[in-house]
Chains A and B, each alone.
Chain A
Amino acid sequence: MVNRVVVGAHYGLRDWLIQRVTAVVMVLYIATLGVLLCLQPQINYDTWTALFSSLWLRTASLLFLLCLFYHAWIGVRDIVMDYIKPASIRLVIHVLVILALLYYTIWSVQILWGM
């Protein structure tokens, strides 16, 4: 392979936009959860499990976590693009980050529906 500067991978806009949209979803979720927690008379194990027994809050939490993971993927990938120059090492790190995020996703489902 010749060593030339190559650019033009057409996912710049898509990822930039997704990062903004996921950020908005996360802010809305955090605000909603904050309000819900403030409305509880006290916060202990019982109120916490009661709160998370509702399907919509579990679904919203899962949505929040998925947004967090996608948001984190783009951010971490940008950092790797800046600091890891050899393409082969970069690809390995990308794959490891994706695998870790997939693992977190499964773990999140297990936590939310296993309570």
Chain B
Amino acid sequence: MKFRIYRYNPETDKSPYVQDYELQLDAPDAMLLEALLLLKEQDDTLTLRKSCREGICGSDAMNINGRNGLACITPLSSLKQPIEIRPLPGLPVIRDLVVDMTQFFKQYHSIKPYLVNEEAPPETERLQSPAQRKHLDGLYECILCGCCSTSCPSFWWNPDKFVGPAGLLQAYRFIADTRDQATSERLDNLEDPYRLFRCHTIMNCVDVCPKELNPTEAIGKIKDMMVKRMV
């Protein structure tokens, strides 16, 4: 099994390079992460993030054969060889496949990813009807792996100003939540030529999301709400 992996250690390398690896692996159902960990046993300088190994934590997002995804839930059998592994595009590389996600999380924090409710909390919990709760399906499942935002050219170009698909999906998650009272402030926060409207609906985010979520649809719903508020 042949691999071509992006390598870069800013402390010792002048520029990034691609290193070839070979691996004998007789496990037809194995996921890419297993192969990468075996490669790391061969060469322990190879650096990557991973944690849960089952597509929940979102740590091992990387660019696999040109497409962002999670190594732990990508079957090796689905990949054409040599398998090209690169870090998530558009973010500064810390080392090899590990990127600096500061900008990504800054944008996530900018949409206030928490419930804003000024009323005193009730004895038990803030209740929702099943119909109200249903609006959060397809939104709350986001694991913040960054696959979508780092596949978005608008985010590559304006990472400091455009919230990006992950952040906007989460923005809508709280706009859609009936327990949240800051809808108007949340819409104000995005009513800007950059923060939301840099999205030109090319849907790379929908294409790569490992949880099969739809940020484009959420962005469209935010726009609908803004229009409804204005007219």
Q: Are A and B a genuine interacting pair, yes or no?
A: yes
**A73 smallest CB distance to B (angstroms):** 13
- Give the A-B contact count at a CB cut-off of 8 A: 40
Q: Count A-side interface residues using an 8 Å CB cutoff.
A: 15
A11 CA to B188 CA, complexed, in Å: 11
- Which residue of B161, B190, B191, B227 has the most chain A CB atoms within 10 A of its CB atom? B191
- Which of the 9-residue segments A1-9, A46-54, A101-109 touches chain B? A1-9
CB proximity to B under 8 Å, residues A1-49? 5, 7-17
- Which residue of A7, A10, A17, A78 has the most chain B CB atoms within 10 A of its CB atom? A7
User: What bracket does the count of chain B residues touching chain A fall in?
Assistant: 10 to 19
Which partner residue on chain B sits nearest A14 by CB separation?
A: B230
A16 touches B197 (CB 8 A): yes
Given A12-B193, A81-B193, check contact A7 B161 (CB 8 Å).
Answer: yes
Supply 29 A–B pairs (Cβ within 8 Å), ascending by A.
A5-B160, A5-B161, A7-B161, A7-B192, A7-B194, A7-B195, A8-B192, A8-B195, A9-B192, A10-B188, A12-B192, A12-B193, A12-B195, A12-B197, A13-B191, A13-B197, A13-B223, A13-B226, A13-B230, A15-B197, A16-B197, A16-B223, A17-B227, A17-B230, A78-B193, A81-B193, A81-B194, A82-B157, A82-B158
By a beta-carbon cutoff of 8 Å, the part of chain A in contact with chain B is 5, 7-17, 78, 81-82
